[in-house]
Homo-oligomer: A and B are copies of this chain.
């Protein structure tokens, strides 16, 4: 059917609900460059204000999904499962859960992303491992998943090209933070992986895009609804991001923390027990994946299996295999040429952390990009000696900064001290997992 684009924009602007055919037409025309950027931009802004129903969002997801190639792993004996995190600071669980789930026999076809805003990205972390290749063809990706049970790559031009084009436009037209657009973008890419199940790690708190648990739950509900609309099993963990996850932020540093957890060993003088939050969340997420993959009878049982796989060393061996298959030389993991310790300015307990600012300080040091053209320093990052509720003494190490040079140390130090509230009263550490859906 033929539509007048301005009339479709007007319909959404006036709060109307699109038919499936209208949404498919918009996405098809835009993909084929037959709808100009300015009309898509106006429509996106209208969606920002008028919203979309669950059904509209499901259709949008489907239209973006079918703009490119899709994979299918349904021929495998075990359902393929992936995890998606809405993004956090120090959020490094993918490197732990992918090998755990794969080692437990659940195929993990993971198409991961780059860092966004103040948060890190799985691809940037993996690329801190010299030689690690995240650019495989979809055919190679499929073969690796079938052969080794897991492969982690970046988005290719073949997967959801409409999403790629729309995302670039949203980025420059202030239409990124629209719930239906976020949901369709996430889910189209995940569904294109050919998975049967998806575990969502929906973050909330000072370091997350969703600052409150309420907004995080709304997002989780929408994502689950879309997944169900596409016949996928989708479950969610709502996890706290009022402080960075684990002790390290920055690409090579986070790989170091992951290896320490996978091998149950210390890293940069931190004993493995000091990474308990990263470990706990990884076990929960991997357990959920194992359950969705049918390798456990319940979420609790899934977590037990994940714990066994991790404790046995099987997850570590799987991670070594991933690195081997994808060309990563773990023994050459780089470390920073320069470091500087930021001392605690007073006695007390860490009361609260402005986690988004801590993420931005890491990016300032070189751990991420603020613009697409920015170069990443894989060795740059932050060691968090103290987390919420922990006692600090004046003059004791609060943070260690790492980078290839010292030029942003002063600024990062200022940002970190401003982001850290120390008080005399001890507070409890925030509860890591608030809710499971």
Contact = CB atoms under 8 A, between A and B. Distances in A.
Interface stretch (A6-14, A74-82, A332-340, A412-420): A6-14
Contacts of A41: 37-39, 41-42, 45, 173
A174 interface: yes
Contacts of A175: 42
Contacts of A224: none
Interface residues of A, number: 24
Interface in A4-29: 5-7, 9-10, 13
Contacts of A36: 37-38
A129 interface: no
B42 A9 contact: no
Contacts of A10: 174
Interface string A157-172: 0000000000001011
Contact of A42 (B5, B6, B13, B45): B45
Nearest to A48: B13
Contact of A13 (B38, B169, B174): B174
A7 B171 CA distance: 10
A45 B41 CA distance: 9
B42 A171 contact: no
B45 A174 contact: no
Contacts of A49: 45, 49
A172 B6 contact: yes
A169 B38 contact: yes
Instruction: Give the 7 A-B residue pairs with the shortest CB-CB distance, closest first.
Output: A42-B173, A45-B45, A10-B174, A37-B38, A38-B41, A9-B174, A41-B42
18 contacts: A6-B171, A6-B172, A9-B173, A9-B174, A13-B45, A13-B174, A36-B37, A36-B38, A37-B41, A38-B38, A38-B40, A38-B173, A39-B41, A39-B173, A41-B173, A45-B45, A45-B46, A45-B49
Given A7-B174, A9-B173, A13-B48, 4 more contacts: A38-B38, A39-B41, A39-B172, A41-B45
